[in-house]
Amino acid sequence: MTVLVDSWCWIEYFIDGKAAAAIEKYLNEGMVFISVINLAEVYKFAILNKSEADADKMVRWMLANSFVIPVDATIALNAAKFNAKQKLGLGDSLIYESAKAHKLKLVTGDPGFKGMRDVEYLGR
């Protein structure tokens, strides 16, 4: 399966959280994409909760094991429209629209995405 793995999943995976095994299946089976926004969110989380060295290590692993989707003007404008309607954060909107633009299923546990179209929700 080809998917965009959200920041929530990467963090859950790196901290060996409750959904880590389910996330690992996505990381090992098929093609994995990330948004540049995911890199920033995971890096920030690691700097605040671990160390800069850990943050560097996590991001290097993400880059080595996934394909990065840049945010272009079309994705940015579609995210702004989506954001205005859905009331999610702008980062989440950019990630969702990145997945949509590339016809990818978004894998996440972020509750803001629960029940949305083309989202594989792993949260509780």
Q: How confident is the model over 49-90, as pLDDT tens digits? A: 999 999 999 999 999 999 999 999 999 999 999 999 988 999
| Location of structure tokens 């994409």 | 33
pLDDT of residue 121 exceeding 80, the answer is yes
pLDDT of residue 30 exceeding 90, the answer is no
Closest CA to 23 of 124, 115, 112, 108: 108
With cut-offs at 50, 70 and 90, classify the pLDDT of residue 124.
Answer: confident
Total-model pTM: 0.93
% residues pLDDT > 70 (the chain): 100
Over residues 88-98, the pLDDT tens digits come to 999 999 999 99
Helix (H, G, I), strand (E, B) or coil at 119: strand
Contact between 119 and 113 under an 8 Å Cβ cutoff? The reply is yes
Report the DSSP beta bridge partners of residue 5: 107
The predicted pLDDT at position 82 comes to: 95
Q: 96 is written with which tokens?
A: 């969702």
pLDDT of residue 123 exceeding 90, the answer is no
The predicted pLDDT at position 1 comes to: 84
Helix (H, G, I), strand (E, B) or coil at 65: coil
Domain of residue 96 covers 3-121
Contact between 92 and 113 under an 8 Å Cβ cutoff? The reply is yes
Contact between 121 and 114 under an 8 Å Cβ cutoff? The reply is yes
Q: Which domain CATH number covers 82?
A: 3.40.50.1010
Contact between 78 and 86 under an 8 Å Cβ cutoff? The reply is no
The domain total for the chain is: 1
